[in-house]
């Protein structure tokens, strides 16, 4: 499989880009990697990059977007931060990726048993981590069940995963609210912004369509 070129990127649509990721994740689950020469792709992309998707995911060592979607060099922009939330710098990076570099799809990718979400659920305090986890607290507060405070912590994995899903939704809401550039591009059909969840037990990505 060759690296994307300006010509192949131009043929990509938001829906086609999403389909590429779905097919890549299926290959990953089946342990059937696409046939690609990474060193050849190094050479092919030395003069430029033409990725088709931008993926915001967690820093979790089990959730490498390039691996779980079976993509090669030059295929995706990968933005990683614990808890997969957005700030001004990440929004700027996404605006660059879509408006200037031509990606057609933004995926906000959460995952099950997320450590950052667990920390937010437990109201963990530690240096700069405290401020970082505060970005995820709105998702914790938005999940109203269970109401029993003794069940609203990291030991309740169902609660943790529900918070992770809510965090993905709220992150997309923030993207659309805080980036006029990306909101306009989605309204015009130039890009699609979609949420997804990676299951650390199976390797499957479920898209919120």
Rounded to an integer, the average pLDDT of 172-188 is: 98
The model's pLDDT over 68-110, given as tens digits with 9 standing for 90+, comes to: 999 999 999 999 999 999 999 999 999 999 999 999 999 999 9
Does 98 carry a binding-site annotation? no
Q: Residue 56 has what pLDDT?
A: 98
Does 58 carry a binding-site annotation? yes
The span from the first CA to the last CA of the chain, in angstroms, equals 28
Q: Which is nearest to 53 in space by CA: 83, 22, 21, 84? A: 21
Does 111 carry a binding-site annotation? yes
CA dihedral 38, 40, 41, 46 (to 10 degrees): 130
Q: From residue 57, how far is each of 85, 114, 156 by CA, in Å?
A: 8, 11, 22
Q: From residue 54, how far is each of 78, 106, 183 by CA, in Å?
A: 6, 5, 15
Please, which pLDDT band fits residue 43 given cuts at 50, 70 and 90? Answer: confident
Q: From residue 12, how far is each of 75, 114, 179, 183, 205 by CA, in Å?
A: 12, 32, 23, 19, 21
* pLDDT at 209 exceeding the cut of 90: no
The H-or-E segment that residue 98 falls in is none
Does 114 carry a binding-site annotation? yes
Reduced to 3 states, what is the DSSP secondary structure of residue 197? strand
* pLDDT at 134 exceeding the cut of 90: yes
Q: How far apart are CA 187 and CA 177, in angstroms?
A: 13
| CB neighbour list of residue 12: distance below 8 Å, 6 or more residues apart | 20, 52, 104
Q: What is the DSSP string of 116-132?
A: HHHHHHTT---HHHHHH
Q: For helices 157-178 and 180-187, give the axis angle rounded to 10 degrees.
A: 90
* pLDDT at 1 exceeding the cut of 90: no
CA dihedral 140, 142, 145, 148 (to 10 degrees): 60
Rounded to an integer, the average pLDDT of 144-150 is: 95
* pLDDT at 142 exceeding the cut of 90: yes
Q: Residue 169 has what pLDDT?
A: 98
Rounded to an integer, the average pLDDT of 157-164 is: 98
Q: How much is the pTM?
A: 0.95
Lowest mean pLDDT among 36-45, 60-69, 148-157, 194-203: 36-45
Give the sign of the dihedral formed by CA 159, CA 162, CA 80, CA 46. Answer: positive
Q: Residue 2 has what pLDDT?
A: 84
- The rounded mean pLDDT for the chain is 95
Please, which pLDDT band fits residue 37 given cuts at 50, 70 and 90? Answer: confident
- C-beta of residue 116 within 8 angstroms of C-beta of residue 167: no
* pLDDT at 44 exceeding the cut of 90: no
Which of these CATH numbers, 3.40.1050.10, 3.30.70.1560, 3.90.1150.10, 3.40.50.300, describes 6-208? 3.40.1050.10
């Amino acid at each position: 499989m060759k690296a994307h070129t300006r010509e192949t990127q131009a043929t990509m649509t938001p829906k086609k880009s999403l389909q590429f990721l779905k097919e890549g994740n299926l290959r990953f689950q089946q342990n059937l990697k696409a046939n690609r020469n990474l060193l050849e792709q190094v050479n092919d992309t030395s003069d430029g990059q033409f990725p088709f998707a931008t993926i915001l995911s967690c820093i979790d060592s089990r959730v490498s977007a390039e691996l779980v979607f079976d993509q090669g060099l030059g295929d995706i922009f990968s933005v990683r931060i614990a808890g997969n939330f957005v700030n001004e710098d990440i929004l700027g990076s996404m605006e660059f990726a879509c408006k200037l570099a031509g990606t057609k799809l933004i995926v906000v990718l959460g995952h099950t048993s997320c450590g950052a979400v667990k920390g937010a659920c437990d109201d963990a305090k530690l240096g700069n981590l405290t401020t970082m986890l505060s970005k995820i607290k709105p998702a914790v507060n938005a999940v109203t069940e269970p109401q029993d405070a003794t069940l609203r912590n990291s030991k309740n994995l169902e609660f943790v995963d529900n918070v992770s899903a809510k965090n993905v939704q709220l992150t997309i809401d923030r993207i659309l609210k805080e980036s006029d550039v990306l909101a306009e591009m989605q309204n015009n059909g130039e890009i699609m912004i979609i949420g997804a969840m990676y299951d650390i037990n199976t390797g499957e990505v479920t898209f919120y369509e």
